[in-house]
Amino acid sequence: MNLPRVVILGGGFGGLHAARALAGAAAQVTLVDRHNYHLFQPLLYQVATASLSPGDVASPIRWILRRQKNVEVLLGNAHEIDPAGRRVLIGPSPAERGGYDGATIPYDYLIVATGAAHAYFGHPEWAERAPGLKTLDDALEMRRRVLLAFEAAERETDAVRQQRLLTFVIVGGGPTGVELAGALAEIARLTLRHDFRRIRPESARIVLVEGGPHLLAPFADPLRASARQALVRLGVEVRTDAVVVGIDADGVTCRVHPAVAQTVPGTAPTAETTERIEAATVLWAAGVAASPLGRQLSTACDRAGRVPVSPDLSLPDHPEVFVVGDLATVTQDGKPVPGIAPAAIQAGRAAARNVARAVRGLPTQRFRYRDKG
């Protein structure tokens, strides 16, 4: 049968749920991902802090979709999209030497859900000193650095160097940074408390640095306050209005806005000061940038590289191409749809439903995100 071919790029929340929503559709579905597993990213910080093993947050995509006879899964890295020619160029994945190098996959409909990567605000040299948290490899590297810092401190006899080894700085006060800081505080004060003889792990200094005035900026004020209070109770030092301007082998340099008395609403901060935090371990949880594929789809991407889409999640000039998840910018009721897993799941399902409707010759429907709390 000459079925329409649907290609899905990305096996994250958006792409995987798009593929599952196409079960039974009169279409041949191909899902392409750089890895052969689906990663449950919300719990990735627990792998980074040695609370979970990698197998607890990763499941093989082929196993998840094993009962869908109209779906095939390919391991590869999509590095070029040709909307005019309706084709995708696939290269080898990071885990393989060969793969689909130079292979071209044609499509009738395309769902792009390739997500986002780390952004270091114009300082790529910081990546070596401050790893981010997007993949299993990132989480394992973070865990290695954290645990080895305690081991090195156990051997260190100089008090100053030992304190630097026991100081951890997390850059970024979003959900990932808050979770990392809390988990680090728990393993230092509880999990590792009785495991060492020369150091006291509970004395570790954990500093969470956020450039804006609040932690969890997109959240409601009561949730922000609750998160900050919980971190303080765990012993985390929370620094807001502190912009990181330097990261090196010995620590972090921040540009800090001193607190001012708000006698008049809107009063500007006083002169900036610089603060130095000596730390052996720096973890990055600040900026993200959308997949570079986005700029191949649109010239109107925002500063983070996200693609503006139509209300039905399609590209305005290419209605057969749908963009979902962290790669898309969607506005609803005057506010952007948040870049979280539930939004990506709902968008992936909505894009799949619109593809199925288009295959049947029906008009597509507007996507609306529903916040379930």
Pairing of strands 205-209, 167-171: parallel
Supply the residues annotated as catalytic.
179
pLDDT for 218-255, tens place per residue? 788 999 999 999 999 999 999 999 999 999 999 999 99
pLDDT for 75-106, tens place per residue? 999 989 999 999 999 987 766 555 445 689 99
pTM metric for this prediction: 0.87
Band (259; pLDDT cuts 50, 70, 90): low
Q: Which of 104, 54, 57 is nearest to 78 (CA)?
A: 104
Stretch 52-69: mean pLDDT: 95
pLDDT for 279-317, tens place per residue? 999 999 997 888 999 999 988 898 889 999 999 999 999
Q: Hey, what are 251's tokens?
A: 């620590």
Q: What domains can you pick out in the chain, each with its CATH number?
A: 5-115+291-359 (3.50.50.60), 120-286 (3.50.50.100)
Separation between Cα atoms, residue 173 and residue 238, nearest integer Å: 9
Band (266; pLDDT cuts 50, 70, 90): very low
Band (258; pLDDT cuts 50, 70, 90): low
pLDDT for 196-217, tens place per residue? 999 999 999 999 999 999 999 8
Band (264; pLDDT cuts 50, 70, 90): very low
pLDDT of residue 260: 33
Separation between Cα atoms, residue 221 and residue 229, nearest integer Å: 12
For residue 105, the Cα-to-chain-centroid distance in whole angstroms is 27
Stretch 305-332: mean pLDDT: 95
pLDDT of residue 98: 52
pLDDT for 363-373, tens place per residue? 999 999 998 87
For the cut 50, the answer to whether the pLDDT of residue 360 exceeds it is: yes
pLDDT of residue 38: 96
pLDDT of residue 102: 64
Q: Residues 307, 329: contact at Cβ < 8 Å?
A: yes
What are the residue ranges of helices labelled H in the chain?
13-21, 44-48, 61-64, 126-129, 136-155, 159-165, 175-186, 221-233, 294-297, 341-359
